[in-house]
Amino acid sequence: MSDKGRDHSHERMSPPPGETEAVTEMVKRFYEEIQFPGTRPMEQDSLIFLRKFSRIIASFHGVDQAIRVLDAGCGTGNTSRALAAQYPEVSFTGIDLSQSSIETARRGASAKNLENVTYFQWNMLQPLEHEQPFDIVLCFGALHHTADLQAALHTLRLALSTQGSMFIWVYGAHGRYHHALNMKLLAMLLDAEPTTDPVLLAHDFIHSVGDNMAAKDLLGKRSHDPLLRTFFENPTWIADQFLNPNERCVTMMDLQHLLRLEQLQIIEWIGIPGNVKAHIRSDELHRRFALLPEEQQRVAMDLLFKPERYFLLLRKREGA
Ligand SMILES: C[S@@+](CC[C@H](N)C(=O)[O-])C[C@H]1O[C@@H](n2cnc3c(N)ncnc32)[C@H](O)[C@@H]1O
């Protein structure tokens, strides 16, 4: 996917027939072997999310029926498990393509005696079979690994209640561009000769190629953050970040196109500076920026900030 500047506002963005099944099978095989995230420290985005999540839960105050939350592509269930422990009155459902991750998630929930969270294996390219819609849908770090982003978003939209809130976290093509090149380079070196331990080779690559190149290209200014650097010793994280068989980064233009097709709207672009004036200091350039329609302003901000991920709060468009 890329910004081509042409109007493709009515086109569907699905892969060619046959590719979806093959890619999904490859992704499934990968995540059956590496169960992500396993254990990992809390990041900045998680803290921001927790604040927003608790505000939404509080807005249901006085509503009788139980609030329902879906965690799509839940992996080993870290997010839903932590939330289920904190919000015993809320009902959580986690789904993932990987059966082994689901089993780990279930073990984690029963070890904590959590009765308000259930997990089951499901390919989110297929609409869910559920009785009631979900008030909150979460999809963190999973959409870009699916073979068909639109089909996945479609499933999530169908699962969402009319007034529901959806949080998605998806890789950005501009910010992850250099990392994608490093992944390609590593893939070439891996392919040069069969190896029994690609993670070991990836670890070697991270620590010995260029001047801290892999960390800088992946983490930017945060590449010396000691907390983040612990990830570079974590085999699960290394595999997920450097050996992933299917990573489809998108641009804001791609995303807005998909959201339009799926009748979803952006309520908040989380983690992006609200004050663009501080970043476009010329009055003339800022005046021109302000002239752009909302969607184009977002594309302009994407080109300006080149984020490595989009963290968005979405709702259904009115009448959708
Ligand atoms: C990087 S992990 C993210 C896990 C978790 N959401 C987190 O933030 O830690 C991506 C997860 O997406 C899942 N996934 C990929 N394609 C999927 C699909 N089509 N349906 C359901 N889950 C999928 C993978 O199995 C994997 O567990």
pLDDT tens per residue across span 194-212: 988 999 999 999 999 998 8
Question: Is 140 close to ligand 1, i.e. is its CB under 6 Å away?
Answer: yes
State how far the alpha carbon of 45 is from the alpha carbons of 70, 135, 140, 149, 220, in Å.
19, 21, 10, 22, 16
Residue with CA at minimum distance from ligand 1 atom 8: 140
What is the Å distance from ligand 1's center to 140 Cα?
Answer: 8
pLDDT at 235 over 70: yes
Query: Which of 65 and 213 is assigned the larger pLDDT?
Result: 213
Q: What is the mean pLDDT of residues 114-135?
A: 95
CA 72 to centroid of ligand 1, rounded, Å: 7
pTM for this predicted structure: 0.93
Pair (70, 147) in one structural domain: yes
pLDDT above 70 covers a percentage of the chain that reads 94
| Cα(275) to centroid(ligand 1), Å | 33
Same-domain check for residues 215 and 261? no
CA of 74 to the centre of ligand 1 (A): 6
Least confident of 17-26, 35-44, 291-300: 35-44
Determine the straight-line distance between the first and last CA of the chain, rounded to whole angstroms: 26
Identify the domain containing residue 231 by its residue range: 177-242
Does one domain contain both 214 and 267?
Answer: no
Considering all CA atoms of the chain, what is the largest pairwise distance in Å, rounded to the nearest integer? 62
Q: Return the amino acid letter for 73.
A: G
Rounded mean pLDDT, 246-254 = 97
Most confident of 35-39, 125-129, 219-223: 125-129
Same domain, 162 and 267: yes
DSSP annotation string for 8-34: -TT---PPPTTHHHHHHHHHHHHHHHS
User: Which pLDDT score, from 0 to 100, does residue 42 have?
Assistant: 59
Instruction: Please report the sign of the dihedral spanned by the C-alpha atoms of residue 248, residue 251, residue 254, residue 256.
Output: positive
Task: Tell whether 15 is covered by a domain.
Answer: no
46 vs 113: which has the higher pLDDT: 113
Question: Which residue among 98, 176, 231 is best mutated to probe the pocket of ligand 1, counting the most ligand atoms within 8 A of its Cβ?
Answer: 98
Residue 168 lies in a domain: yes
**pLDDT score for 40:** 55
Residue-wise pLDDT tens digits, 263-272: 999 999 999 9
Cβ–ligand 1 contact at 143 (below 6 Å): no
Contact 305, 280 (CB under 8 A): no
The protein residue with its alpha carbon nearest to ligand 1, atom 3, reads 141
Burial (0-12, 13-18, 19+ Cβ within 10 Å), 306: middle
CA dist 94 and 78 (Å) reads 10
183 lies in some domain: yes
In a domain, 255, yes or no: yes
Q: Does residue 257 share a domain with residue 135? A: yes
Question: How does the average pLDDT of the chain come out, rounded?
Answer: 92
Nearest atom of ligand 1 to the alpha carbon of 78? 9
Indicate whether 147 and 227 sit together in one domain.
no
Based on the structure, what is the number of domains in the chain?
A: 2
- The order of strands in the sheet holding 309-316 is 117-121, 91-96, 68-72, 134-140, 160-171, 309-316, 264-270
Check which CATH number belongs to the domain holding 112 and give it: 3.40.50.150
Other beta carbons less than 10 A from residue 179's beta carbon: 22
- Region 280-300: mean pLDDT is 96
Please indicate, yes or no, if residue 27 is contained in any of the structural domains.
no
| 255 has pLDDT over 90 | yes
Tell me the C-alpha distance between 37 and 100, whole Å: 12
Q: Which atom of ligand 1 is nearest to the CA of 30?
A: 25
Query: What pLDDT is attached to residue 64?
Result: 75
